[in-house]
């Protein structure tokens, strides 16, 4: 099973690359929205948004998914290792949906049809942090805890509320 460790190492590297996109792209969206009047700047940001999603984020997502599935194929006992693995899968699905939502927003911004504010994207940028905390917590501890999950999501909700100041503003 030495090759399992190499697959795991690749999986972690792919996950880190995917997370880099998830952390950075919404920040670019903030700049895109808040400096919309600076056309030259926005054109550069559009290129960055496209490249980080298309050349880093999407391939890293597929590499994360493929290596994760390969790890399960190599060690099917992972599926019977407790509730933590299914909690990880649930959070992974949410993270994947979040990732695809970034492409939706990227296209809206590129087409000039996005109505979201910089504050919205600042708050939205906190989502992958909370989800990564949950995934890493489940994987490292090999356990599922409702308390850990609810506290993490509660802190995320409070942070988002503070950023949005109770409502979305431009």
Binding residues for heme: 11, 88
* Binding-site positions: 11, 88
Mapping DSSP onto H, E and C, the string for the chain reads: CHHHHHHHHHHHHHHHHHHHHHHHHHHHHHHHHHCCCCHHHHHHHHHHHHHHHHHHHHHHHHHHHHHHHHHHHHCHHHHHCCHHHHHHHHHHHHHHHHHHHHHHHHHHHHHCCCCCCHHHHHHHCCHHHHHHHHHHHHHHHCCCCHHHHHHHHHHHHHHHHHHHCCCCCC
């Amino acid at each position: 099973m030495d090759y399992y460790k190499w697959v795991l190492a690749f999986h972690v590297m792919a996950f880190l690359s995917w997370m880099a996109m998830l952390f950075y792209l919404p920040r670019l969206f903030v700049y895109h929205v808040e400096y919309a009047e600076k056309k030259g700047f926005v054109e550069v940001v559009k290129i960055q948004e496209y490249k980080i999603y298309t050349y880093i984020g999407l391939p890293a997502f597929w590499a994360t998914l493929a290596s994760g599935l390969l790890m399960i194929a190599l060690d099917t006992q992972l599926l019977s290792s407790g509730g933590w693995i299914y909690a990880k899968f649930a959070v992974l699905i949410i993270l994947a949906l979040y990732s695809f939502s970034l492409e939706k927003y990227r296209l809206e911004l590129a087409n000039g049809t996005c109505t979201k504010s910089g504050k919205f994207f600042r708050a939205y940028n906190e989502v992958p942090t909370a989800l990564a905390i949950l995934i890493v917590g489940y994987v490292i501890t090999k356990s599922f805890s409702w308390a850990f999950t609810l506290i993490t999501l509660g802190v995320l909700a409070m942070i988002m509320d503070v950023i949005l100041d109770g409502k979305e503003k431009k």
